[in-house]
Amino acid sequence: MAPITQLSQLDPNGTYSYADYLTWQLEESVELIKGKIMAMSPAPSRKHQSVSLNFAVSLGNYFKHKDCKLYPAPFDVKLYDRRKSLLQDREVFSVIQPDLCVICDKDKLTEQGCDGAPDWIIEILSPGNSQKELRLKYQLYQENGVTEYWTVYPYEQAVHQFVLDQNEKYQLHAMHAGDEIAIPYLFPDLQIDLNDVFAE
């Protein structure tokens, strides 16, 4: 069988597993959400990369000597229903590459990335992100038990902070403007100056 090197070789209506994903040799970056291919935006904008780097510097210093670890994209995160035990690659249908994620359970870490939900995911949105993509990821992260999820709007200089409640549903914990201090729910001693994050 010929190797998959172009998106056009894949069926956009097909359902694929992580095992399939591992065999592809695509130049484009893709994610799988419930078996469906989601082409990622072309190379992120300079603003996106600046915000991502500023977050990484701030969080990297904080997590440097801690048990929880920070991983920036590209970094594969395999997601599956947290009520199930560890699955074979052919049984996993969601693999995403969050802009930044924090993982506290070292047993989830593999050579390929993370097996299971990170504790905290930060997604930096681009103008190309569709509402469908935002909705799918919100639902996916909620279903898979990502405790804290931040959506970052670089051009609006805003952060929306979601936290799972006792019913395992996201609640909007806080909305931050670009001149504020943002404090993660999971790490209350970490203060993130959004002036620094959004600085050019």
Structural domains in the chain? 43-197 (3.90.1570.10)
Q: Which two tokens stand for residue 100?
A: 């930044």
What average pLDDT does range 44-65 have in this prediction? Answer: 92
- pTM of the entire predicted model: 0.89
**How far is Cα 183 from Cα 81, in angstroms, rounded to an integer?**
28
CB count within 10 Å of CB 82 equals 12
Give the chain's mean pLDDT: 89
- Beta strands 120-124; 148-153: pairing state: parallel
> What share of residues in the chain are helix, strand, coil (percent, to 5)?
25, 30, 45
- 28-32, 67-71, 101-105: the lowest-pLDDT one: 28-32
- In angstroms, the Cα distances linking 8 to 4, 5, 11, 51 are 9, 9, 7, 32
